[in-house]
Amino acid sequence: MRPPEQIVDPSPADVLETITKAVFQAGMSWRVVEAKWPGFREAFDGFEPERVAALAPDEVARLKEDTRIIRNARKIEATVHNAEAIVALDQDTPGGIRGWLGSRGGFEETIDAMRKEFKFLGDMGAYYVLHVIGEPVPDHQEAMHLLARRKR
């Protein structure tokens, strides 16, 4: 299997989309998530963080019934929360979300910070996000060793 493609100069929408994909892939077949991904992009308005963060309760309720996406209520709510977090980081942190990620320290510290800031994002999901958006990460084998060591 090929590694996921990296995004050059990702926008906040790219970051939210990547986090959301990691969240929905957790515990699911990546093929199922990939097959539904065009529907996710439509349902979540291109993952523009300000738009997703501003979803009203009735809009969130409609998403929970939307057959274009995987209708996991907790993960849909996590996506809204994660959009809110990105909006706040973009407003309050020099360099926005990318500046925040770059200021966390090393790989493991960044993973820890991401798990605290974003809902439903585990170690592997955070590694995936960092890789896709072009943040520095260890190679896959070293990352798996580091992450496995953390679980002990």
Q: Could you tell me the domains of the chain?
A: 12-151 (1.10.340.30)
Q: What tens digit of pLDDT does each residue of 69-97 get?
A: 999 999 999 999 999 999 999 999 999 99
pLDDT grade for 1, boundaries at 50, 70 and 90 = low
Exposure pattern of 24-38 as b/e (b: 16+ CB <10 Å)? bbbeeeeeebeebbe
End-to-end CA distance of the chain: 28
Report pTM: 0.94
State the Cα–Cα distance between residues 136 and 108, nearest whole angstrom: 11
Q: Residue 15 burial by CB count (10 A; 0-12/13-18/19+): exposed, middle or buried?
A: buried
